[in-house]
Structure 1
């Protein structure tokens, strides 16, 4: 046989193998996961899709993204109710069981170095690959402002398919043509006063094959979508009947808390719990890897006893002080520590003879998540089965951790995902749930509710990392000639996935998010990310990297614009080549009456950031008073592509702006000794006060080509808008947060 024949044969066999692998992969990708509801149906319940259960009392819609106060449950339910033709006010909702069937195919695309403004073939392919990764990994996760973009098609398809089989079931029962029937708010109706409730058809409908591709309603025919809807959880929350994790009560329950080494990453060398054990009501002291837990008859008893435990803490493996941490960041601006350079237009190194060089260093601190409901969970281990109640954004990972701790099979573990009183990313972690399972393993078959003290919550947060930026730019002849930005952070992604026992190859986009992908036409434009060492374990905080980079990028852009002698708003609009982004700038300029005169001692500042695919522009007005700077008014405009619930989007956008303003003004975590944070409760970490909050006006635009989420994009522009307003009012340029280190606020 000739060499050529061997080569051709090898090629053909190899090609067949690759083609077969691709075909198998495509088949696997297109094959839906099993419906996880089928093994959990109660007597009289029927499931049509993973998102729909029906019983004699009506329809339950599975909304598999955790309700953290952001209104996701209502909008997700509306997606199904719209297409299934249900009365939205009458549906029940449930977070559903942990399952890869509820994978999030959009969240993994957020980690790819693809600009939101890029609509080319490669960008579309990369985003599609993100969905593939999400499905194969079974990423049942809430985060990244992805809940609505991910669900928009799939949950509407589920509702439309369920409606179709209801009609088919009615047609077969009544021996009529399906085309002669239609639906009205949970009923199949037809000629001669035919009207059958879905509840009466569900069992028959479940025998039909569920169509995988059905026609969806046009926007012109939407009943709920595009309209503001009353929040389905509002009445329960107002009346105190909504079951948060901290509200769980079970028979013969034990109450618990833990104390862990306040220095991250270290445990206890030993401890003396003699005094704690003598407290009336204490049942048991349980050793943990990070410290110890207390089982008691009430939460307050557990808190009191935990304070009496004397620990000999192990030293932290991380730098002990904020100064040491900042030194590590500063040392990361090297070629060796370069993590990415996704943008490198023109030549930032050289400048024209008439250009002026502008340089600045910016800093942001560690920030705590500090949700109002502290970390808590309930676990009940008995008879070889484990039940867990917790507000979590990563339910499948919680089950995996519980399996590892208990040795139980997945089928023996039931997770009840509860609504949560805030998160801002904290409930992407599951350390507090693992502790609760460990305590339940020592509770002799009794259920255990574990609650952290507020001090434990602050000391053992995985905070937003501190960051630093070194910026250079040139202006010449009234124009910005160059913009060279370098950002240094520890990697949030690397830190988070390490706690899952995983590593992620390649650069961390979060280090430069909100910086490298901004839609401005500057001829020489470079953005570089530097990966600093992990000076403390960190995690995703509302808007992640863009939370700091929006401040870095936009404030330095403001510096360059002022150095060029230009109007901050007009020049941003002129430089912006992305039409949806330009329109949000134009909208906020109109809303704030930009350019109109202000009283003496007042200033108006603009901030812009494109994050999570959403361009958002904000304006803040401030006034100098005898008591300090007063925030007078705020304006925010954002483009979400398609606005499904304007009222809820308004709440998220204004809430994000206020969240960003409050943290920019007052908040930081600092470390002065032993690697433990100095701030341990809200008096040390003051949020914006009611009397400090400006009146906020919002505008929602729909010029984008795809639907986007809004939980996070309102945060990044807030700090630069405020800083730029302070500069306009006082002439003082703030390059470090929190701002109250440099100015007083009224």
Structure 2
């Protein structure tokens, strides 16, 4: 075979998929194909036609590189490939594979463009497509931003279609017929006479054929799996029988265990420590300094925890406020301070003139730091042997982990293997890698041994990088029963630059859009409309939390809009619909009104309902929540939710994701906060950080619409509207307007 043929086979798909549906830019590195990583370790008889499909005589393996943290990512990726490959994915082996540039996320950066998602003109869409270029160049293999389905919708179907057509070509050459005369069914090529040849029987021949890239994707009307009701999650049997292997379940013979105690002031270096008492404890093998703290190695996890508690450590103090009161004072000081100005992406009309005179409505809001608090605490297994590093962990950023581990161990990145495991939750927690850094540092002290590091629940809660605390101020005006002026200012520490700096060592220049995401980009047409972000000093190191900036800004924007609508004497739902300038979003609002039988916020004495709306990750989501005021407190009775994701690929899982988002959003709005004293949170376990209880869970009804111009993800958009819908419902039932989260600081729940 010619050299050109070999290169084409090794580099198929990635170059073309990088610009699928978008614009090809004349930049060499942006267009340069990426080698197929599966070819590096192929055995005789194995065919890796694309980076997502490997076939040998024993079976078919589907590579699903977006991490699964409970949201069903492995399952939907497998269905996307299988739909075009024409196999039952339940019969295939499914694995995230080794991390590599081929699996960069072409969609995750698209939300960072300076256009709101409801603007889908040529310039906005071109720029969104262009964001795949830096994702490719910087090898951003990341799971997050509700991007798994948008990123994989075309690319993974193309991978399946290319593998299918290449296998047909192999069969055609074998039997001497035209490929167009063949069809496929359930993992086999069907000849004109009805004879079938299994894909697995064609693997060796497919290796010698350049991939057939001129393929046509099947229309939705021909889908066998996608879009069908009751599509089974491929991991349900393992999860329902307790046989799924998470990171915390990994075991190896003769394995050592470790844990750490790090500085309560997250990100601050440790100081002097006395390990004499801990070293004398049973099973303890080594006690070593690690970045920001001290690590303990012992022969089981419990003994590492006990020894870590026995350490006497003198911690260094950071230079930011050590209490929540001090933190909020700094946030308030930055709000409106010209020296703290960060950005203003929405400024329509003339807000200053509109608010110069007359009755100006004002309100101030604030939200606390929030932990991610997944059920599975952070953990990793590491082995260092003969210049090679192996890592087993649940992560959303495997390439970042590979490269950081290589730096710590002093080896080339190619010498590090990262085995990505299913995760027991994340909500953004596993976009960090501090635990892996600590595990590699400790594993270097015990070469050749598998070392399993596990954070205690208390360490996991107190050394999380939480959702930022922030404050906001709203000023507005109404006239003739309408909202006519809206001015919102938000102050918080920068999240995106801090997070990216920890991962890459590089500081992101420019403003931090997450300060106002979920407020500046809402699809409403208000004559005088302004949203401003102020960057407070860096304090507690912060990170991405489920729905990122929209998690707090959805509360600010929608609650203040509700206050203005009330002041105007307008109906909360009708005025939102009147103001809405985006047809899919308007239809979502109309749908939730129909679902709830909306005829106003008041239901009966002591009963009310509130509307919440937020567009996040391009998904308009509206919620109506009904509550009852009882003698013991507020009871949440019913939640109606309407969303538009453009195309519904898995109706059952979509409903589950929205259910989970609503419960997650409500539980945190009701009860959760991290309160700081001495630079450390007081809430270090679930007894002090209590989400929604089972008996408090309302009935939830979900309706999915398909009017959007792009396919979208749904893991996060159900979260932002929950808090404002609940706060607005409480106002409708009680007349009490609550502007601070958690709501339980001001009202009881039953």
Q: TM-score, structure 2 length as denominator?
A: 0.95
Q: Could you say which residue in structure 2 is the equivalent of 1:54?
A: 55
SS of corresponding position for 2:41: coil
> Normalising by structure 1, what TM-score?
0.95
Distance in 2 of aligned mates of 1:545 and 1:23: 31
Does residue 321 of structure 1 match 2:326?
Answer: no
In the other structure, the counterpart of 1:7 is none
CA distance in 1, matches of 2:315, 2:195: 73
Which stretch of structure 1 is more off in the superposition, 214-223 or 724-733? 214-223
CA displacement 1:35-68 (0-9 Å, x = unmatched):
1111133454321110011122321110000000
2:592 counterpart of 1:588? yes
1:208 corresponds in structure 2 to 209
1:667 to 669, 672, 676: 672
Q: What residue in structure 2 maps to residue 504 of structure 1? A: 508
Q: 2:616 aligns with which of 602, 611, 615?
A: 611
Match of 1:251 among 211, 235, 253: 253
Query: Quick check: 1:471–1:483 contact (8 Å CA) kept in 2?
Result: yes
Which residue does 1:482 correspond to in 2?
Answer: 485
Residue in structure 2 matched with residue 183 of structure 1 by the alignment: 184
Aligned counterparts, 1:609-688, within 5 A: 609-672=614-677, 674-688=678-692
8 A contact 1:352–1:476 mirrored in 2: no
Picking from 343, 362, 370, the partner of 2:346 is: 343
2:539 maps to 1:538: no
How far is 1:355 from its partner? 4.7
2:220 maps to 219
Other-structure match for 2:79: 78
Q: How do 1:571-586 residues align onto structure 2 when only pairs under 5 Å count?
A: 571-586=575-590
Match of 2:556 among 552, 564, 570: 552
Q: Deviations over 1:376-417 (max 9, x none)?
A: 000011122111000011111001111110111122211100
2-side partners of 1:36 and 1:285: how far apart?
A: 39
CA contact (8 A) 1:617 1:636 kept: yes
Residues 317, 194 of structure 1: alpha-carbon distance in 2 compared, 3 angstrom cutoff: same
Cα separation, 1, equivalents of 2:71 and 2:480: 47
Q: CA deviation at 1:213?
A: 4.2
Q: CA deviation at 1:336?
A: 2.2
Deviation at 1:30, TM superposition (A): 2.9
Q: What is the CA-CA distance between 1:183 and the residue it aligns to?
A: 0.2
56-65 vs 457-466, which deviates more? Answer: 56-65
291 and 351 in structure 1: CA distance in 2 versus 1, 3 angstrom threshold: closer
For residue 468 of structure 1, what is the aligned residue in structure 2? 471
Name the SS for the 1:336 alignment partner: helix
Cα distance change on mapping 1:329 and 1:193 into 2, 3 Å: same
Specify every segment of 5 or more residues in structure 1 that has no aligned partner in the other structure, as ranges. 1-21
Q: Tell me which residue corresponds to 2:15.
A: none
Q: Secondary structure at the match of 2:452?
A: strand
Deviations 1:106-127 (A, max 9, x none): 1112222211011122212211
Deviation string, structure 1 residues 163-214 (Cα, Å, up to 9, x no partner): 0001000010111121211000100002223200000001211221123442
Identify the residue that residue 8 of structure 1 maps to in structure 2. none
Once residues 95 and 32 of structure 1 are traced to their aligned partners in structure 2, the CA distance between those partners, rounded to angstroms, is 21
**What is the distance in 2 between the residues matched to 1:426 and 1:740?**
25
Alignment of 1:36-185 (within 5 A): 36-42=37-43, 44-185=45-186
Distance in 2 separating the partners of 1:202 and 1:726: 62
8 A Cα contact 1:495 1:537, kept in partner: yes
- Distance in 2 between residues matched to 1:23 and 1:343, nearest whole Å: 30
2: distance between equivalents of 1:231 and 1:665?
A: 31
- What is the Cα deviation at residue 337 of structure 1? 1.5
Q: Secondary structure at the match of 2:458?
A: helix
CA contact (8 A) 1:267 1:290 kept: yes
CA distance in 1, matches of 2:717, 2:628: 26
Query: Aligned ranges for residues 248-287 of structure 1 at < 5 Å?
Result: 248-287=250-289
Is 2:737 aligned against 1:733? Answer: yes
In the other structure, the counterpart of 2:7 is: none
User: Any idea what the Cα deviations from partners look like across 1:236-295, whole Å, max 9, x if unmatched?
Assistant: 112222110001111110011111111223222211111111111111112112111111
The corresponding residue for 1:598 is 603
Return the alpha-carbon distance in structure 2 between the equivalents of residues 741 and 68 of structure 1: 31
Contact 2:383 2:447 in 1 (8 A): no
- Residue 90 of structure 2: SS of its match in structure 1? helix
**2:6 alignment partner in structure 1:** none
In the alignment, the residues of structure 2 paired with residue 213 and residue 687 of structure 1 have an alpha-carbon distance, to the nearest angstrom, of: 51
Show the counterpart of 1:26.
Answer: 27
Asked whether the equivalents of residues 114 and 126 of structure 1 are also in contact (C-alpha less than 8 Å), the reply is no
- DSSP 3-state at the match of 1:439: helix
Matched with 2:296 is 294
- Deviation digits for residues 689-736 of structure 1, max 9, x if unmatched? 000111111000000011001111110000000000000000000100
Report the Cα offset of residue 31 of structure 1: 3.0
- More displaced 10-residue stretch of structure 1: 139-148 or 594-603: 594-603
Question: Quick one: distance in 1 between partners of 2:206 and 2:442?
Answer: 45
Contact 1:157 1:213 in 2 (8 A): no
Deviation at 1:102, TM superposition (A): 0.4
Q: CA deviation at 1:319?
A: 1.3
